[in-house]
Structure 1
Amino acid sequence: MRLVYLTGILLVILFGTFLNWILCCEARSESAIDAKEPVAVEAESPVIGSFFIKDSAGDFSFESEDNFKFKESNFFIVRPVPESVNQGVGELKSYLENGDNRFIDVTGYYDAGEGNNSAFPNLGLARANSVKNYLITQGLSSKKINTYGVLETDLPKKDSIYLGPLSFSLSDKLSSSDDVADIVERIKEEPIVLYFDSGRSTINFTEAQRKQYMDIVRAMDISDETTVMITGHADNIGDYFANKELGKRRAEFVKSYLVENGIPEGKIETASKGSIEPIADNNTAEGRAKNRRIVITLK
C-alpha cells in the first residue's frame, strides 16, 4: 500500500514537471512574438549599381543588373549603353506617356575624391543630366525628368569606371516650381559673365555661376521657347574687325563648352560686339581685362 502511495506521488511530480515545461515554452514563444523581435528581410533592390525603377504608386517595375557607367571624375556616359538598360528605358517611356502626373527622378552620385570638370554644381548633377539627355534622345520629354546630385561613398567601381552611380524613382511633381519667366528674368538681370585672358583655353565656373547654369538648364527643360544667348566682347587693342572676330571666336568656344555640358547646340545663339560696348576704361590693364568678356544669358 505504501508503495502504491509513493508511486502516485512520483507520477504527480512528473506530470507537474511536464506541464510546467509545456506552459513555460508557450509563454516564451508568445513573449518573443509580442516583443516583435527583428526579422531579417531581403532588400527590395540595391539603391546604387543596378538599373532599378519601381512606381510605388502604380504598377511599373523594371530591374537590370546593368546600368549607365561613368569614368572617374567624368560625367560622360560610357558607350555603348547596355541593351537591357535600353529595354528598361523603352518600357519607362511607354509608362510615362500614359501617366500625365508621373515624373522620373534621376539621382547621380559622386565620390568626394572625384574632380568636377562640369558646369554643374557637383559631378552627381552632371551625371544625372547626362542620363536625362540620353533619355530625351530615346523619346522621353525633358518636362518629365527631375535631376539631383548626391555625395556618396563606396560607389561600385572597377578599373576607374563607376558602375551605375545612379538611382531612379518615380514621383508626382517636378523638382523646380520656379516659373520659366522668373528664371529668364533672373538670368537677364544677373547673367553669367566670363573674363578672358589672352590664350585662355579652359573654362571654370565659380560656385555661384554653377548655380546660375543649373537655372539655365531648368528653364531649357521646361520651355521649348527658351534659348541661350552668348555674346563676346573684346578690349580696344587691335582694329574693329579683328576684335569683332575675336569676340565671335570666344563666344563659339563657350558655346562648345555648354553643348558639352548638355545644352542642345540648336538652342544656343552666339554674337560678337567686338570692342564697341566696353564696361571699363580701355586705357588701363585692369579695364581692358574687364572688357575681354563673354556674357551668357537667356532670351
Structure 2
Amino acid sequence: MSKKALYLLGIAITIILGTFLYLKFCCNCTKPETIDPIEKPIVTTPEASLVPFVLNGSGIDYHTTDNIKFLKNNASVLVPIGDSVNIGIEKLKAFLTSNPKQKITITGYATSDETNTTKFENLGVARANDVKNYFVTKGLTGSQLDTKGEIVDKWQTNSDTLFGPVSYKFEVADTTTVATDEWSLLKEKINTDPLTLYFSTSKSRNILGADEKQKVADIAKYTAHDKAAVVLIVGHSDNVGNRDSNVALGQKRAEFTKNYLSKNGIGAQIETESKGPDEPIGDNGTREGKASNRRTVITIK
C-alpha cells in the first residue's frame, strides 16, 4: 500500500471514530433545557367582578353586563357610557313615555370609606342625581325620576373605579290617578286645539271634514264622562257690515253649531255667545283673513 493511501485511510478512520464518540457522548448536548411545569411560574390577570345594568319592571326587562361607572370619591358619571347601556336608556325612555304615571327610584351607592365633597347628604345621593341628570339629557322626564342614596361597606371595584353603584326600582303606578288624568288630558286637548267651524260670507252652515268630526267625537266622549261639563260655543264674524248685524250673525252661527252638536251625541249643557267682529284672528283687509274670522269656536268650560 502506498504512503498516500495509508494517509487517506488514517483520515477516514479518524472521521468515523470522531462521529461515533460524538453520537455516544454528546448527542444530548444540544437539546433545549426543560423546566419542570410544577416550578414554572403562572401569571394570571384578575378580572373585575362586574355589576350588570338592569331595568326590570312591569312592561320592561333589560340587562347588559356593561354599566355606568364612577371613580372612587367622585359623584360624576364616567363618560363615555357604553352603547349597550345607552340602548337600555332609550328603551326606558320609550317605556316611560308610554306610561306617564310610572315613577322610578334611582338609588346611588357609596362605600363607607369614600369621602363626600358634594352638596348632597351623602355620595350615594349625589351619584343618583348625576345619573338622573344624564337620563334627562337623553330625553327622559325628570318628574318621573326620584333619587336616594345608601352607604355600604364595600362595592365591586377595579383599581379606583366602581362598577354600577346604582339601582333602579320601578314604583307601582297609581292607576286611579292615571284614569282621572286621562280625562284631564282629553279636556286639555279639546281646549288647546278647539273645534273651529268656518262659514261662508253671511252664511251659517258648514260641512265638516274628518278632523272636525274627530273633534266632535272627543267632545262627545268627554261630556259623556263628565255630566256636569258645559260646552261653550262662541260665534265670530268678519268686519263687513255694521257691528250689530255681525254680532247677530255670530250668534246665529253659534246656534247653528249648537244644533249640529246636539244632533251628533253632545247631550251636555251647551252655552252660546257671539263676539261678532271683535276678536279677529286674521287680517280683515285680505280675503283669506276675512274667511278665517267667520267662525265658531267650541271649548269645554
TM surpasses 0.5: no
TM-score (norm 1): 0.41
Query: Between Structure 1 and Structure 2, whose CA radius of gyration is higher?
Result: 2
TM-score (norm 2): 0.40
